[in-house]
Amino acid sequence: MRLTVIGTGYLGATHAACMAELGHEVVGVDVDAGKVAALRAGRVPFHEPGLADMVARHTAGGRLRFTTSYEEAGAFGQVHFVCVGTPQRKDGDAADLTCVEAAFADIARHAREGALLVGKSTVPVGTAARLAAAHGSEVAWNPEFLREGFAVEDTLRPDRLVFGVRTRRAERLLRRVHAPVLDAGTPLVVTDFATAELVKTAANSFLATKISFINAMAEVCEAAGGDVRRLAEALGYDDRIGHTFLRAGVGFGGGCLPKDIRAFAHRAAELGVDLGFLRAVDAINMRRRDRVITLARELCGGTVLGARVAVLGAAFKPDSDDVRDSPALNVAARLGLDGADVTVYDPEAMDNARKAFPLLGYALSLEEALRGADLVLHLTEWPQFREVDPGWARELVYRPRIVDGRGVLDADRWTAAGWRFRALGRPV
């Protein structure tokens, strides 16, 4: 089929490449000429394992191309996927729909008769119906559940597909687009617009709630002397609970979970439904960052003023160069404001971190970050940080003091090598 994908960020670039991989002819559209030029050259402007190869392969093979022209996209596509961002609004918790509205308006104006406009962006419930009424085109909603770092895998082999449709024709077109994925046995839920929109916000809210639940248990463990890692292990053996998303630590960040729970609570309140528990989920999440700062102060004898602090990690999670709402950088910046001399190191996210927080110090290597440090904070669990030899690190730092903000370092090994070791949710 001939598809277009509007917006070539994480979601759009991945969706475009994966649709080409499924055998479709795909045109990716973006208003950012720089992004389009990079993608045309087979370059993906963010870190996503496997994606650059796929883009390069399909652009070279001619099945995937990129343009800034809605006119070209409209003339080409039978189905148009809108994959633009819905960030948090500057003036509150609601989602900013400017890009979604502009993308629908632009493609509706240029689309051929009978083309299907499919929204994939995460939007407040009610958006699809409003867009359908505004543009008179046939609309469907097909939310996306991909995780950064696993974007290709999650798109080609998703846990489920969700089609929010109003007509059999829209369902048929979406089934044709996803035929290889459906043939592989992927569960499909066909439903109305509102339910399809809600599946996405409900899923992210549930995941955020799971993380904040275990982080609240970490707070109780800290107060009572328990170990949240063993608690999570024991809880997870109950199939109804499961082990995933029960890793306690400095909390969730990124471009999705934090803004999605806020936008969802806001939208629900507009509809007269009080999702106050999501505000608690958000508050617990932010308290974990405060806790790392408290531990840092304690280890530095009451104040971090003048202390040389090495922050290991800048990305919001490993295998990503995304620093949006990164807990690591938030903690680093706040310690900087408290007068600490902060040096950040991350294997992938240095450029993005520098752009977002130009006033922090940055090291070109782990070794350089550790050298002369009074305190080390481990805040993004990259594999290479887990594998650090505490004896080697001990020789580099000035004072061997570390906070494990991700619950993955071996306290016994670090203390045996002479470190003062503190962690979240554990009696150390």
Segment interacting with ligand UGA, rule: CB under 6 A, options 13-21, 35-43, 254-262, 298-306: 254-262
Segment interacting with ligand UGA, rule: CB under 6 A, options 71-79, 191-199, 252-260, 267-275: 252-260
Instruction: Examine residue 316 and tell whether it contacts ligand UGA (CB under 6 A).
Output: yes
Which residues are paired to 375 by β-bridges? 309
> In whole angstroms, what is the distance from residue 51 CA to residue 56 CA?
9
The answer to whether the annotation marks 86 as part of a ligand binding site is yes
> In whole angstroms, what is the distance from residue 242 CA to residue 234 CA?
10
| Tokens describing residue 325 | 């709402």
How large is the angle between the packed helices 193-224 and 228-236, nearest 10 degrees?
A: 130
- Comparison of 383 and 418: residue with beta carbon closer to ligand UGA: 383
Which residue's entry shows tokens 């958006």?
127
| Tokens describing residue 327 | 């807990």
Listed in sequence order, the residues at least 6 apart from 276 whose beta carbon sits closer than 8 Å to its beta carbon are 265
Among 19, 256, 393, 397, binds ligand UGA (CB under 6 A): 256
- Comparison of 21 and 260: residue with beta carbon closer to ligand UGA: 260
Which residues are paired to 402 by β-bridges? 376, 421
The answer to whether the annotation marks 301 as part of a ligand binding site is no
Contact 43, 52 (CB under 8 A): yes
The answer to whether the annotation marks 200 as part of a ligand binding site is yes
Number of residues that bind ligand UGA (CB under 6 A): 21
The answer to whether the annotation marks 401 as part of a ligand binding site is no
Per CB under 6 A, which of residues 342..381 are in contact with ligand UGA?
none
Among 19, 196, 211, 388, binds ligand UGA (CB under 6 A): 211
Among 73, 131, 162, 246, binds ligand UGA (CB under 6 A): 246
* Beta-sheet strand order (sheet of 308-312): 361-362, 341-345, 308-312, 375-378, 401-404, 420-423
221 part of the active site: no
Contact 380, 316 (CB under 8 A): yes
Q: How far is the CB of 409 from ligand UGA (least distance, A)?
A: 15
- Comparison of 319 and 374: residue with beta carbon closer to ligand UGA: 319
Quick one: the chain helix, strand, coil %, rounded to 5?
Answer: 45, 15, 40
Contact 327, 251 (CB under 8 A): yes
Q: Tell me which amino acid residue 361 is.
A: G
The answer to whether the annotation marks 112 as part of a ligand binding site is no
Instruction: Examine residue 247 and tell whether it contacts ligand UGA (CB under 6 A).
Output: yes
Segment interacting with ligand UGA, rule: CB under 6 A, options 40-48, 107-115, 217-225, 251-259: 251-259
Instruction: Examine residue 254 and tell whether it contacts ligand UGA (CB under 6 A).
Output: yes
| Tokens describing residue 280 | 């608690």
User: Which of 124, 125, 132 lies closest to 92 in space, CA to CA?
Assistant: 124
Q: Which of 18, 99, 221, 256 is catalytic?
A: 256
Among 122, 127, 330, 343, binds ligand UGA (CB under 6 A): 122
- Comparison of 249 and 390: residue with beta carbon closer to ligand UGA: 249
Q: How far is the CB of 347 from ligand UGA (least distance, A)?
A: 15
Q: How far is the CB of 117 from ligand UGA (least distance, A)?
A: 20
Q: What is the dihedral of CA 94, 97, 98, 99, to 10 degrees?
A: 130
Q: Exposed, middle or buried by CB within 10 Å (0-12, 13-18, 19+), for 191?
A: middle
- Comparison of 40 and 147: residue with beta carbon closer to ligand UGA: 147
Contact 156, 21 (CB under 8 A): yes
Among 251, 400, 405, 407, binds ligand UGA (CB under 6 A): 251
| Tokens describing residue 366 | 């782990």
Among 15, 47, 267, 317, binds ligand UGA (CB under 6 A): 317
* Beta-sheet strand order (sheet of 161-164): 64-67, 25-29, 2-6, 79-82, 116-119, 138-141, 161-164, 188-191
Per CB under 6 A, which of residues 394..413 are in contact with ligand UGA?
none
Under DSSP, the state recorded for 88 is B
Among 252, 362, 382, 421, binds ligand UGA (CB under 6 A): 252
Q: How far is the CB of 241 from ligand UGA (least distance, A)?
A: 12
Residues belonging to the active site: 256
Residues that bind ligand UGA (CB under 6 A): 122, 145-148, 204, 207, 211, 245-247, 249, 251-254, 256-257, 260, 316-317
Binding-site positions for NAD(+) = 30, 35, 86, 122, 148, 259, 324
